[in-house]
Amino acid sequence: MRILVLTNMYPGPRDPDFGAFVKHMGDALRERGNAVEVAAIDARGGGPLGGPGKYGGLARRALVAARRCDVIYAHFLFPTAAIAAAARRLTGVPWVVTAHGQDVANLERPVVRRATQRALRSCSAVIAVSRYLEARMRTYLDPLPPVEVINMGVDVTRFVPGDRDAARRELGVSPFGPLVLAVGGLTRRKDPLTLLQAVARLREDHPDVRVAFVGDGPLAAAVDAGAESLGMARHVIRPGALAHDRVATWIQACDVLSMDSRVEPLGVVALEALASGRPVVATARGGAHEVVPTRGPGRIVEPGDPALLAAALGDVLADQPDPMDCRAAAAPHRLARQAERVEAVLMRALTGPEDDTLTPRGRPVAVVGQEPPDHPDVLRLMEESAAFNAATYPDGTPPVLDPAALEATGATLLVARSGGAAVGCAALVPHGTWGEVRGMYVEPGGRGAGLGRRLLDALEAVARDAGIGTLRLEAGTRQPEALALYEAAGYIRRDAFEGYAPDPRSVFMEKPL
């Protein structure tokens, strides 16, 4: 495909980290063999309404470039969406837009909301970076084009576990004592002052703890003054806003990332920290909980409460998770996978719904992706699976998946959707160097179309990205189709493994990855 990336945030010479996530997604789409052209604004200032020079120039560049492209991939709802809609009217090129966060907040302004609603009439699809953001959009915009939830992903080749002390030496930071890291603008929404107060409380148990604020903004002076008044000026590090590569080094140098914003649409930096093997404490407001575990590699806290934040940070510092468990939590959101999903949305905008993989009902399988275990569609599939097991094994039903237990283990749950409907699911439960395949289920109407193999292949990809060397599973003797699937995929039989006792109804299998 020839893709035009249209955005009002993009790295430039004066600000190499401005909208870096947009560039990374464009690069990932290019690596998939697409021709990617960019029409962008690479300087801050002007707000969503900007000025005639700022956005007029972008519109002219977009219109010229659109004539050379197959599809427009816009970022941010307004005014970028209005420019994409104008290009659609003049060139006939279809367009898709990703909503990121502040652009949705700007919909509170009536003029922005009305202009966005008009623009979206010609939009083929909207991508939201979190389910939280999708819900927020729906409170302002009706009707909406089809909505997909796809975050911008994390480059797991750039953000990797590294030697903490070596990173600190490179940055000139003492190797002694825990380091709490915050990355982002020093703004009211990011709420650095609550973190400052939380770290002051942490000093009661960790007198040598320090906090680093990577970023700049209007609250910079307040952070400095607060550090002085709390008597911890020597415990606060402020390197300012940094290029993306430098942020990776700071993440490797820290012991825990704090993302305690008052609200956070998603927070890509949380994924970057997890991919780097560092735990994350994140806000409960917004979409961060969709990617940050509630235990093990992560904690979720209500914002604005220094005591709660200090307790969560202290909990993580006292019980540091395995870096590979952190990385496993980020693996489903790897950039390459998210680019594949975005590419599928763009292709549907260009050619119509994909029809190359159909269920027996004739419905297209659009995507296999990660979803939360408490999603209503997932709960329905789990209930169907439990009923199937009860009917198949009336003499003793195999263990039923529990959503809360799944979330507590840091499991990755993948769901196959056909025409928007959830038709199958499977979970990967990490156990350090090995992982367990749990809850593989495809509804009867979706069987025979290769969905089980697609789910299994996707789980194996997640496991490999997380550094898991072996997958294990327990299957039932009365499910020959499932056993045939696993054997065809390379799984071999073995004895019962940790957590199971030998059972004549069970077949235990494993596969080295």
pLDDT digits (tens, 9 = 90+) for 79-98: 999 999 999 999 999 999 99
Q: Give me the residue label for tokens 């992706």.
A: 369
Residue 354, pLDDT above cutoff 70: no
Burial 370-386 (b: 16+ CB within 10 A, else e): bbebebeebeebbeebb
- Residue 279's pLDDT is 98
Alpha-carbon torsion (265, 70, 334, 163), positive or negative: negative
Question: pLDDT class for 13, splitting at 50, 70, 90?
Answer: confident
Residue-averaged pLDDT of the chain: 89
Most confident of 14-23, 353-362, 475-484, 493-502: 493-502
Q: Is the pLDDT of residue 422 over 60?
A: yes
pLDDT at 393: 81
Question: Look-up: residue for tokens 């010609």?
Answer: 122
State CA 144 to chain mean position distance.
Answer: 22
Mean pLDDT, range 147-176, rounded to an integer: 95
Name, in order, each residue with C-beta under 8 angstroms of 110's C-beta and a sequence gap of 6 or more: none
DSSP string covering 425-485: EEEEEEETTEEEEEEEEE-GGGTTSSHHHHHHHHHHHHHHHTT--EEEEEEETT-HHHHHH
pLDDT at residue 362 in the model:
42
Q: How far is 275 from 297, CA to CA, in rounded Å?
A: 11
Name the band, by pLDDT with cuts 50, 70 and 90, for residue 397. low
Give the model's pLDDT for residue 357: 42
Show the beta-strand stretches assigned E in 144-285: 147-149, 179-183, 210-214, 236-237, 256-259, 280-283
Section 381-402 average pLDDT: 77
Which one, of 181, 165, 197, 378, lies nearest residue 305 by Cα?
Answer: 197
pLDDT value, residue 370: 81
Lowest-confidence range among 186-200, 227-241, 421-435? 421-435
- Placement of tokens 């019962």 in the chain: 496
Domains annotated for the chain, with CATH where assigned, are 2-149 (3.40.50.2000), 164-332 (3.40.50.2000), 355-512 (3.40.630.30)
For residue 134, give every residue at least 6 positions away whose Cβ sits within 8 Å of its Cβ, in sequence order, or none: 128, 147, 149
- Residue 363 — very low, low, confident or very high, per pLDDT cuts 50/70/90? very low
- Which tops the pLDDT comparison, 402 or 415? 415
pTM of the model: 0.70
pLDDT of residue 356: 40
Per-residue confidence (pLDDT) for residue 115, from 0 to 100: 96
Sheet holding 147-149, edge to edge: 35-40, 2-7, 71-75, 95-99, 125-128, 147-149
Query: How wide is the angle at C-alpha 207 spanned by C-alphas 205 and 209, nearest 5°?
Result: 100
pLDDT number for residue 6:
98
Whether 146 and 128 have beta carbons less than 8 Å apart is answered as: no
pLDDT for residue 233 is more than 70: yes
Say which residue the tokens 């991939």 belong to.
73
Angle subtended at Cα 238 by Cα 331 and Cα 194, rounded to the nearest 5 degrees = 75
- Between 289-293, 302-306, 419-423, the lowest mean confidence (pLDDT) is in 419-423
Tell me, rounded to whole angstroms, the distance of Cα 169 from its chain centroid: 30
Q: Starting at the earlier edge strand, list the strands of the sheet with 365-370.
A: 365-370, 412-418, 421-431, 434-442, 470-476, 506-512, 492-494
**pLDDT (0 to 100) of residue 51:** 54
Q: How confident is the model at residue 200 (pLDDT cuts 50, 70, 90)?
A: very high
